Chain A
Amino acid sequence: MLDTEKPHARTIIELDGVTKNFGAVQALKGITANIREGEFFSLLGPSGCGKTTLLRMIAGFDDPTTGTITIDNKAMAGIAANHRPTNMVFQSYAIFPHLSVADNVGYGLKKRRLPKAEYKREVEQALEMVDLGGYGPRAAHTLSGGQRQRVALARALIMKPKVVLLDEPLSALDKKLRDQMQLELRQLQRSVGITFILVTHDQEEALIMSDRIAVMFDGQIEQLATPEELYRRPVNQRVASFIGVMNFLEARATKSSETHVSLDVQALGKIDIPRAGLPDGMKPEEIHRVGVRPEMMTILIDGAPSAERIVEGEVVETSYYGDMTYYSVRLNGLEAPVTISMRNTAGRAVLRPGETARVGFATDSIIVFR
């Protein structure tokens, strides 16, 4: 997925110091970001972080209190939603229940007064694009949730917008359908090459679909990066705990040189990490806490295979997921248990609570953040 990243693509949306006040509450505290042409961009964050507010301001349903939004080199101040080169897929899909599928899809096109034959062809093409060929004459209210979503997409794409805005488009679907639609949406975005901006609170969804993700908390972007970078190098503890599962361990720097920093990590002992592993501008003495992902630790059974470093602990809880087993292990010298995930390969034994576990890890799996 990294190969689809287009670092040199031109900027399609420029957000410059965008703030939004609702009465005394500041919902957005200065958002500055560039969104590139043709990328799948996600605004990820917990509810109330301002991501939907930001999306609605890009769409033109709301105006920023201060700051500017530029779309395709054109300042958007004073331009209403019906004159912006953006189209939205709403969380509720907002399919017009009194119209047929074809009339829904062609709703915006009607304004353009195309010849009848061309109009029909465009609508049919849009429906085929979302695998709903031949559904045109159906009544909109007979559609299933997944089909509604496709109609909403076709209705937006037929306008040939510069940017498609998606407000939690998958949250109303059940898990199986959601997984399938994630891939379809991603493929569709690649084939049409239009910029998609997705708002979601589901970190997994954002990781799977996006070229780049802006993680938002309390009206601010905490980190803007590719999915891989976000997962591997979260800039702070908040991002680290929001993206995937992270074990936090107390740590402090004991010694530092030009190239390396020696850390004393709770339960894991002395670990040397390269200086480049620190977030930009962070000094070694500012380190208070480090993190380890569950899959970066291994439970060693019968001494094999070996690992760079080994610590011992007691299994507190075992959660069996079929393909994976999640262990809660209380490492010696640590109060709170850490989470360790293991792939259930053939013949691997599953440890029970109370058993002693030997936990192996590599020193380069330690993540330092603010």
Chain B
Amino acid sequence: MSNRRKNLNWLNVYAVVYMVFLYAPVVLLPIFAFNSATIIAFPLSGFTTEWFGVLWTTQALHDAVWNSMLVSVSTAVISTVLGLFAARAVARYTFPFQRGIMGLVMLPLVLPEIIIAVALLIVLIQLGLSLSLWTVVLGHVLVCTPFSIAVLSSAFRGLDPSMEEASFDLGETHWGTFRRVTFPLVMPGVISSLLITFTISLDEFIIAFFLTGTEVTLPVYIWSQMRFPTKLPSIMALGTILLALTVALLILAEFFRRRSATRRGLDASTTEGLI
């Protein structure tokens, strides 16, 4: 009995240490964002919202945010559409070399991004294409599609194949079946896929750094600002805003997932349809 309690104590300590290590740096972000000193160090000197004001007036940042939005939204939509097709095909059909083909499609998941970035750069230059935000989208789609396939495959696995057959049997066309039955039923997976690919694309640095032309995405912009110590506090402020947005997005995603799970008669606390 005492032995078990001892084990429990050690587990508690481990859990707390782990959480602190994971989240303490994240908590530092908003703390220094509201600190009036330009040096990132304790003790804190005073409260200010000045750094947020700086963000508000920095045109280059606004451009970077806009570029990132363009890239991330395009990547999310394109890779989710591609993922939808691939996941549907894998779940419903068997075709020659299925495993090999899927292995190749999923490979970017484990390939170092620097290799993808350099390889793509060489190919693009050889093709004589000029670098732009669209070449970044190209690279991001390559990296994000495997995530999308993974998320959507589980959504399709949870889908009874006779649902589609029933619709077809009742006189609906293939496209009508997809629109009226398949898509609504894998909707939670589609939303998860959009959110995940959006997030991956939004904070991706290496590919964006290599493949962009004169327009920079947000991570590249942040990296470029890190060289100037005076800009650090406003980077903290920017980080704080991104953190708040991410949390809000996650809560929203979870809300939608639970609502659809309830509608489908699943226990809302299950993770089915999320990943």
Indicate if B181 sits at the interface (CB-CB under 8 A). Answer: yes
Stretch from A81-89, A177-185, A304-312, A329-337 contacting the other chain: A81-89
Most chain A Cβ neighbours within 10 Å, of B170, B180, B181: B170
Digitize A58-93: 1 where CB-to-B-CB distance is under 8 Å, 0 elsewhere.
011100000000000000000011110011101110
Cβ–Cβ contact A107 & B167, under 8 A? yes
Task: List residues of B (148-190) whose CB comes within 8 Å of A's CBs.
Answer: 160, 162-163, 165-173, 176, 180-181, 184-185
Q: Bound complex: CA of A59 vs CA of B176, how far in Å?
A: 19
Cβ–Cβ contact B181 & A141, under 8 A? no
Cβ–Cβ contact A82 & B171, under 8 A? yes
Cβ–Cβ contact B165 & A90, under 8 A? yes
Q: Bound complex: CA of A92 vs CA of B163, how far in Å?
A: 9
Stretch from A3-11, A94-102, A279-287 contacting the other chain: A94-102
CB contacts between A and B, total, < 8 Å: 68
Cβ–Cβ contact B162 & A91, under 8 A? yes
**A residues in contact with B185, CB < 8 Å:** 96-98
Cβ–Cβ contact B168 & A96, under 8 A? no
Indicate if B265 sits at the interface (CB-CB under 8 A). Answer: yes
Q: Bound complex: CA of A168 vs CA of B85, how far in Å?
A: 32
**A96-B181, A98-B185 as given contacts; A111 in contact with B263, CB under 8 Å:** no
Chain A nearest CB from B165 CB (Å) reads: 6
Cβ–Cβ contact A94 & B160, under 8 A? yes
Cβ–Cβ contact A111 & B172, under 8 A? yes
Indicate if A142 sits at the interface (CB-CB under 8 A). Answer: yes
- Supply 25 A–B pairs (Cβ within 8 Å), ascending by A: A59-B169, A60-B169, A61-B168, A80-B168, A81-B168, A82-B168, A82-B169, A82-B172, A82-B173, A88-B166, A92-B162, A94-B160, A94-B162, A96-B167, A97-B264, A107-B170, A107-B172, A108-B170, A108-B172, A111-B176, A139-B265, A141-B264, A141-B265, A155-B170, A156-B170
Q: Chain A: residues with CB nearer than 8 A to chain B?
A: 59-61, 80-83, 86-88, 90-92, 94, 96-98, 107-108, 111, 139, 141-142, 155-156, 159
Apart from A90-B166, A155-B166: 19 A-B pairs, beta carbons within 8 A: A61-B169, A81-B165, A81-B168, A82-B170, A82-B172, A82-B173, A83-B171, A86-B169, A87-B169, A91-B162, A96-B181, A97-B265, A107-B170, A108-B170, A108-B172, A111-B171, A141-B263, A141-B265, A156-B170
